[in-house]
Amino acid sequence: MFRNLLAEMARYNVSNEDLMKTLGFNSAKTLNNKLTGRTDFTRKEMFLIKKVHFPNFDLEYLFKEFETTSTTEISDTN
């Protein structure tokens, strides 16, 4: 998951629809899959997002990947 990208999108009022237009996506599912890390952004897509929406940010910052938190089972050892 790209928490930094999502945070900056919220901070600068960049919507999913804005990114879809920038990247030429017709499907919200395609964008969601990329934002959640299910599928990879291409280098071209990353550079385009930076150029159009976040020119003052580093790619490394915007596209730093964070693991999604999964529910882990806690066992009772008593």
* Tens-place pLDDT, residues 2-59: 999 999 999 999 999 999 999 999 999 999 999 998 999 999 999 999 999 999 999 9
- The structure's pTM equals 0.82
- Report residue 7 as tokens: 């945070």
CB of 23 closer than 8 Å to CB of 49: yes
Rounded to whole angstroms, the Cα distance separating 49 from 75 reads 43
At a CB cut-off of 8 Å and minimum separation 6, what does 68 contact? 1, 36, 37
